[in-house]
Amino acid sequence: MKRHLSLLILTALFCAVLPHARAAGRVSVRFYDEASGRYQEEVSTDLVALTLDGVPLTPDGSPALVQYIEVNGRTLVPVRTVAEALGATVSWIPENRQVILLREGSTIVLTLGSATAVVDGQQVSLPGGVPAGVVMYREQESTMVPLRFVSEQLGAEVEWDGAAFTANISTVAQPLPEPDPIESPVPEPVPTPGFSAGADRGFVTGISSDSDAQTVTVRTDHLPDYRVLDLGDRVVVDVLGAVLSNGETEVVTIPVDNDLISTVRYSLHADDLGYGYPHTVRVVLDLESGITYAKNLRVEAGAGGVKVSAFPSEGERNPVHFVPSVPLDPNKSTIVIDPGHGGSRSGAVYPDALGNDIMEKDLTLSMSLKLRDILRTAGYNVVMIREDDRDVDLYERADIANAVGADLFVSVHCNASGTVPTFQGIYTYHHPESQRGALLAQAIQTPLCAVTGAIDRGINDADFVVLRETEMCAVLVETGFMSNSEELSRLCDSAYQARVAQGIAEGITQYLNSLKK
């Protein structure tokens, strides 16, 4: 009864705001809840028609629609539909769940699920508290953004036609008023609004190290202006006109699991580095002995920040002479299992329910050993990158797989989110250029999620070292999020680990059988 009463009240309020409004139709969708990491129940909501300067604008994927939060309703549209129509470029930063819009030096950052946005480095509340988010429509996902907010930030106007239930976007500039005939003094030039030389450009929102990709990423909410200084045993990356979004002012050292970079330090500087900006964020990467910027590092930037990639030069890679602990039968398929991390490289570390630190390297080894036993029982050759707690270089892992002429390479890892502790689920990665890798990833992902009951986050591509340098079909399985207490508890459970191993083994068998067919 309360639910029906609430619906009647909501309808009455909506009709009071739009007394003659008649929706263009109804549509059933599912809204994604960023906090829980799940789609909500399917709901029916109103369709909205769009025009741009009087011409109908038809979105790809999901249509424009209304999302109601309590009594607030806001029109949401697929981000590329409105942004690209208004001349902006769209970038997606999956690590932060952020959409970045760039146009003529202006930067808009929308974080999915957040009621605030960052516009040219300034926090701005979204009208009605309705955030950007993901919508499932007819089994297709679309990233949706608030129409009026994004349009107005990109210099357009939106008028609501209640009778036609249509949002009219207008980019036509209004005529300027006639000048006052009375002569007045010539005003001083006024700087163009936004960031420019002499003012800061935006925020550095985070600095992180990815052990699988062997990269260090300086994330920004704008297209960064940066400089690189080669100081021999260390490399400096200066992000000009930037401040730290966390407000940190002291030198911070972050842990890195990198074969060529020993430590990463960063700090905020004032205008003491001679760049002409009020602030600069300086990031210092200390290099291992014998490593140089010229031979071993690549620095590149995009809308989401600056990425430093580390890789050994050809002359530094020694040939691997690897002898499997169990002789290989040439008539059987050979599968290399790579338990992630090991030795001094612990991977992610999170406390369990009793406060004991759980290390990723221990979980991956335990699951990999169970997978080894299942595959050997099924009649496969199995080569383990490590069967105990020891260091193995990322490139050496790939070299071992190449040396034994493996048919498949499966790297086992655990995931973590430093910003969303509620996030759960399984991902399986393949290299962007490997079509067979994508098939193997999906073949593993489907039974793995079915057997474990974990959230299916799908497959994705990534330029991880062990996926790029292996010569055979290779995947990397992120078995769950250690940063989520529930999922960490399951990952520590031996019976659950056995189900993980079973799911991966079933996927491997299905994939190999499909090749034979």
* Cα→Cα distances 159→19, 83, 479, Å: 16, 17, 48
What phi and psi values does residue 503 have, to the nearest 5 degrees? -65, -45
Distance CA 493, CA 348 (A): 17
For residues 470 and 395, give the distance between their C-alpha atoms in angstroms, rounded to a whole number: 9
Q: For residues 458 and 289, give the distance between their C-alpha atoms in angstroms, rounded to a whole number.
A: 39
Instruction: Report the distance separating Cα 425 and Cα 415, nearest Å.
Output: 9
Considering only CA atoms, which of 439, 441, 440 is closest in space to residue 427? 441
Q: What secondary structure letter does DSSP report for 189?
A: P
d(CA 466, CA 213): 8
Q: Does residue 469 carry a catalytic annotation? A: no
User: Rounded distance, CA 62 to CA 53, Å?
Assistant: 21
- Among candidate residues 34, 396, 469, 478, the one labeled active-site is 478
Nearest to 496 by CA among 478, 475, 477, 479: 479
Number of Cβ atoms within 10 Å of the Cβ of 32:
18
- Tell me how far apart the alpha carbons of residues 175 and 167 are, in angstroms, rounded to a whole number: 22
Identify the helix (H) or strand (E) that includes residue 302: strand 297-302
H or E element in which residue 365 lies:
helix 360-377
Contact 343, 391 (CB under 8 A): yes
Give the start-end residues of each E strand in 241-387.
242-244, 252-254, 261-269, 280-287, 297-302, 305-310, 334-339, 349-351, 357-359, 381-384
Neighbouring C-beta atoms of residue 53, cutoff 10 Å: 12
Neighbours of 22 (CB within 10 A): 11
Taking the CA of residue 515 as centre, how many other CA atoms within 13 Å lie in the half-sphere pointing to its CB?
14
Distance CA 73, CA 43 (A): 14
Q: Secondary structure of the chain: what % helix, strand, coil (to 5)?
A: 25, 35, 40
**Nearest-5° Cα angle at 57, 52 to 63:** 130
Residues 412, 416, 422, CA angle at the centre, nearest 5°? 130
Residues annotated catalytic, as ranges: 478
